[in-house]
A and B are shown apart, each in its own frame.
Chain A
Amino acid sequence: MVRKYVKPPIVEAVCEFRLTRETRWDLTVPGLLYEELKASFPQKEQRMIQEVELIQEPEGLKQQIRTSERIIFFTEDKNMLVQVGPRLLAINVLKPYPHWEGFKPRIEMAWESLQTAIEVQGLERIGLRYINHIELPGQSVEIAEYFEFYPHVGQRLPQQMSSFLVLAEFSYADDRDRCRVQLAPIPGSGGKSSFMLDIDYFLAQPRAVKPEKALDWVEEAHSRVEEVFEGCITDKLREMFEEMS
């Protein structure tokens, strides 16, 4: 059963499409997309993005940083944005989360606009990522009361953790998809205990989903993200988020 909350902890949701290299892309694409999207995303901005590429080589990890330009279209209230970069389309919603019924049509609109502008040859990656900020009362909390995804610390270790990072990757659809889940405290939260729960469901096998099936994949990914989210939290958090009846 799908649960909905009056106070969802989502601070951002992102749907990302990365296209394969065979897809022709040039500098006119952002302009063509803007023409399609400007009624809903009228504001434009430009950002330079540094991408970190980590390459595993026999002698160890090699890090390469490259810079690329990204054009961003915003809604009037700036709560939703579309990012366009070389062979990249990403649709973001910021808090307050408009629920899936509000986010999904924007994903569809942007994806269909991209297909109007260019011929998408293949998908390197699709991702649906939900970032939650969860604020708990007090500076010291018993994390197991709120989460079902947290670090287990044996009795012989100090029980007071100043920080941690829990990260796991789950496999779905015969390992075509993966879901990376991370939980970590947010530093500097002003006397409260705040945590970031990051759920990133993505296509792990490039080209395994055809462009015409991309939106079906996104719908399925959303269901998996919901399941994972519910699997990470306890009823105590559900009460805090106030489930809709």
Chain B
Amino acid sequence: MLTLPRDLLQSFWLPLVGMASLLEPPRGSESVVIDIEELIERLAWKVRIENPNSIREYLLQFTGLLDVIPKAVDAAKKHFPEAQLIMDVYQDPEIDDRYLVLCIRLKDYDDSVIERLEKAEAEFLNQLVNKGGWIQLTTDFREPEGEGAL
């Protein structure tokens, strides 16, 4: 796991080696790129990220989604605590349309899946208004696989 600056900033030894200024000034990030990296790092604990570079590119274009993605992931986790979550960028093969896909994969699919998907989606859908980009919560009805498969 890569140690990113924020982890380092919280290291106890910084003040001891005269680097306390690294803790200052209090602020959030003004950099879109850093915000994206931090989001991807946080997401990686809960979501299997496919094609991180495509996701980076997409988020650079639609920065408004940076606020929405954590809500979408939280909603998916709430309604599908047993699911593997996978994030990728979907590119329509026929038209110039791309969007983020948050896909859930379950060991067993029952009749409640679609209803639960709709309920989860309803928790963040209104936040997508006027955002330009889009994140679609869906399932491909496949079993969890690979690293982090349940």
Contacts and interface: CB of A to CB of B under 8 A. Distances in A.
Interface in B1-48: 1-6, 8-10, 12, 15, 19-28, 30-34, 37, 40-41, 44
A155 interface: no
A165 B5 contact: yes
Contact of B26 (A48, A51, A131, A198): A51
A185 B2 contact: yes
Contact of A178 (B21, B26, B44): B21
Interface stretch (A53-61, A142-150, A236-244): A53-61
Interface stretch (B61-69, B75-83, B91-99, B102-110): B61-69
A163 B31 contact: no
Interface residue tally on B, bucketed by range: 35 or more
A9 to B, nearest CB: 12
Among B3, B6, B31, B132, find the residue whose CB has the most chain A CB atoms closer than 10 A: B31
Contacts of B40: 188
Given A167-B5, A184-B4, A52 B26 contact: yes
Contacts of B9: 54
B130 interface: yes
Contact of A196 (B8, B37, B61, B67): B37
A68 B28 CA distance: 9
B32 A94 contact: yes
A182 B21 CA distance: 15
A18 B28 CA distance: 12
A188 B34 CA distance: 15
B27 A51 contact: yes
A187 interface: yes
Nearest to B15: A56
B52 interface: yes
B32 A18 contact: no
A180 B37 CA distance: 18
A83 B33 contact: no
A157 B70 CA distance: 39
Main secondary structure of the interface of A (DSSP, over half): strand
Nearest to A190: B53
Contacts of A95: 60
Contacts of A61: 10, 12, 23
Interface string A52-93: 111110001101100010001000001001010000101010
B100 to A, nearest CB: 16
B53 A189 contact: yes
Nearest to B26: A53
A239 to B, nearest CB: 23
Given A47-B66, A178-B21, A204-B21, A88 B61 contact: no
16 contacts: A12-B31, A12-B33, A51-B27, A54-B23, A60-B12, A94-B33, A129-B31, A163-B1, A165-B3, A180-B22, A182-B5, A184-B5, A185-B2, A187-B2, A187-B44, A189-B53
Given A94-B32, A95-B60, 4 more contacts: A51-B28, A52-B28, A125-B27, A206-B25
Interface of A: 11-12, 14, 16, 18, 45, 47-56, 60-61, 63-64, 68, 72, 78, 81, 83, 88, 90, 92, 94-95, 124-125, 127, 129, 131, 163-165, 167, 169, 178, 180, 182, 184-190, 196, 198, 204, 206
The 4 A-B pairs at the shortest CB distance, nearest first, are namely A53-B26, A188-B52, A51-B28, A90-B30
